[in-house]
Amino acid sequence: GQVPATQAPADDEISEQARRLLAVIMEVGPSTPDNLAGELGCSIPACTRELAVLERRGMVVLEPDARRSLTDAGTALLTTLF
């Protein structure tokens, strides 16, 4: 059964693209937006926007070398999605 939109769980606020980004980072490790965009077949600007949302939500962290890596919260979210 589908959950009515008014009762959507909080993780529904994260787009499908963002979920895929988290999954790729978990699979391949810390990655740059260019690398992630290539893995997902999306544009670098679109990937960068999704990463910015994930950073604000505390799901990924920007490393000094411009790679993004999962935080504990990002890892925990992924385990609830898959």
pLDDT tens-place string over residues 11-22: 457 889 999 999
CB of 14 closer than 8 Å to CB of 56: no
For residues 2 and 56, what is the distance between their CA atoms, to the nearest angstrom? 28
Confidence at residue 81, expressed as pLDDT on a 0 to 100 scale: 75
pLDDT tens-place string over residues 6-60: 444 454 578 899 999 999 999 999 999 999 999 999 999 999 999 999 999 999 9
Lookup: tokens for 14 = 């994260």
CB of 30 closer than 8 Å to CB of 67: yes
